[in-house]
Amino acid sequence: MLRLLIGVFALIALSGTGLSDQPLEIKIGYIHQAPSRIRISLIDVPAANDGLAGAQLAIDDDNATGRFLNQRYTLLEKLVGENDDPVAAMNSLADQGASFIVTSLDADRLLKTADAGKARGETFINAFALDERLREQDCRANVIHVAPTRSMLADGLAQYLVWKKWRKWMLIVGSHEKDGLFADALRHAATRFGAKIVDERVFKDNGGARRTDSGVAEIQQQMPVVTQGASDHDVLVAADESEVFAGYLPYRTWDPRPVAGSAGLVPTTWDAAFDQWGAVQLQNRFTKTFQRSMTAHDMQVWTAVRMIGEAAARSSSGEPGKMLAYMKSPEFSVAAFKGQKLTLRDWNLQLRQPILLFDGRNTVSVSPQDGFLHQVSTLDTLGLDRPETKCTLK
C-alpha cells in the first residue's frame, strides 16, 4: 500500500514539473465579416469586435476546462472583406489545423464556403445567418446552426403576444428582401398560434439621408401617417431587418398601440439585461474583459465555440470525426445560461434554444411560453418542426 501511495505522489510530482504528456492541441477557426454599422440609433451600432469577442471569451472557457483534461484550445480567426473570398480564408484555417470553423457569414457566402470545405472534412457552425433555407432546402450535413431562424424568433414573439391575448396584429413590412423573409415568418407564426393579421402595409425605402437636422420633426410627422386608418388592432408588428423605419414607430403611431418585431418588443437569443440562470456571471466576465455589453451575436459565437469544447471534453478526443459524431448524438447538449440544456435537432442540425423578448432595457419574457406543448421538446414549438422540414442532409 505504501509503495502504491509513493507511486501516485510521484506521478503528481512529475505532472507538476511538466514531464507529463503534452496537452492535446485543438484549433478552432472563426471566419467573420465586418458588421454593418448602419443603425437607426447610434447606441445600436455594433463594436468592431462584435462576435469575435464572444469567440475569445469562449476559448478562455474551453481552456479553463481543458486544463483538467490535458487539452489546449487555440482560436484562429479570419476577417473577410466585402470582396474577399471566404473559401480562401477557410483553406488558410484548414491548413493551420482547424477542423471546426465557426462562421459569421451571410447565407450565400456560408454555402459557398461549406461546399468547398466538404472535401477537406471541415465542419462549420453558423453563428450569424438566420435564413430558413440554410436549414431547409439548402441544408448541409457539415453545417450546424447556432444562430436561430427567423421562424424561431417570430414564433417566440407570437407565443407571448397570444399569451397576452393580443391576437389582432397590424403588420408593416419593409421593402427589402430580408424584411419580406421576416414577414413570412411572422405570418406563419400568426397562423400557427391563432393570431390574425388584420391590416398589412409596406414601408418603401426611398433612400436619402437617415440623419438630418430636420429629421426628428419629419419622422414625427411621417410615422402617424404611415399607421393612420388601420383596422382595429391590438399590436403593431414590424418586419424591418434592414433598419429603415421600425425604430421610429414606438410612441409615434396614429393609434396608441405597443410595437413589436423589429422594434419595441424584439425577439432575440441574448440581451445585455438578461440575468437569469447564472447569466450575470457571464455578463460580468464579458463586460470586465471587453468593456462593453455582450450582444446576441457575441453569445451565438460563444455558444458555437463552447459546443466544440464540450464535444472534445465529452468524447475525450480531439479527433474531428469522433467530436462531430458526439455532437450529432442524442447525448450531446451545451449549457448556455438559458435555464435548460440546449440540444441539436437531428433533422437539420439547428440548435434548440429559448428566445428572449427584450424591450431595450429589460428582458420582458422568455419563450416558449407556458401552455405551448410539444410531444418531444417545448423548444420545438419555436421554428419549423420535423413534419414541416424540407431538409435532406447531404
For each of the chain's 394 residues, which pLDDT tens digit applies? Answer: 334 343 433 334 334 434 357 999 999 999 999 888 778 888 889 999 999 999 999 999 999 999 999 999 999 999 999 999 999 999 999 999 999 999 999 999 999 999 999 999 999 999 999 999 999 999 999 999 999 999 999 999 999 999 999 999 999 999 999 999 999 999 999 999 999 999 999 999 887 545 444 455 567 888 898 999 999 999 999 999 999 999 999 999 999 999 999 999 999 999 999 999 999 999 999 999 999 999 999 999 999 999 999 999 999 999 999 999 999 999 999 999 999 999 999 999 999 999 999 999 999 999 999 999 999 999 999 999 999 999 999 8
In this structure, which amino acid lies at residue 275?
Answer: D
Best CA proximity match to 91, nearest among 107, 112, 72:
112
Rounded CA-CA distance 95/164 in Å is 53
- Which segments of the chain belong to CATH 3.40.50.2300? 20-148+272-353, 151-268
**Terminal alpha carbon distance of the chain:** 56
> Taking the C-alpha atoms of 86, 91, 94 and 100 in order, what is their torsion angle to the nearest 10 degrees?
30
Residues 151-268: name the CATH superfamily: Response regulator (3.40.50.2300)
Rounded CA-CA distance 219/201 in Å is 17
pLDDT of residue 210: 52
Convert 129-162 to b/e letters by CB count within 10 Å (16 or more is b).
bbbbebbbebbbebbbbbbbbbbbbbbbbbbbbb
Cell numbers standing for residue 223: 410615422
Convert 291-313 to b/e letters by CB count within 10 Å (16 or more is b).
eeebbbbbbbbbbbbbbbbbbbb
Q: Cβ atoms within 10 A of the Cβ of 253, count?
A: 20
Q: Are strands 363-367 and 355-358 parallel, antiparallel or unpaired?
A: antiparallel
Cell numbers standing for residue 312: 472534445
Domain 20-148+272-353 coded CATH 3.40.50.970: no
* Stretch (H or E) spanning 386: none
Instruction: Give backbone dihedrals phi and psi of 88, rounded to 5 degrees, phi first.
Output: -65, -40
pLDDT of residue 16: 44
pLDDT of residue 9: 39
In the block, cell 433598419 appears at 243
pLDDT of residue 21: 79
Please compute Rg for the chain using Cα positions: 23
Q: What is the pTM of this model?
A: 0.92
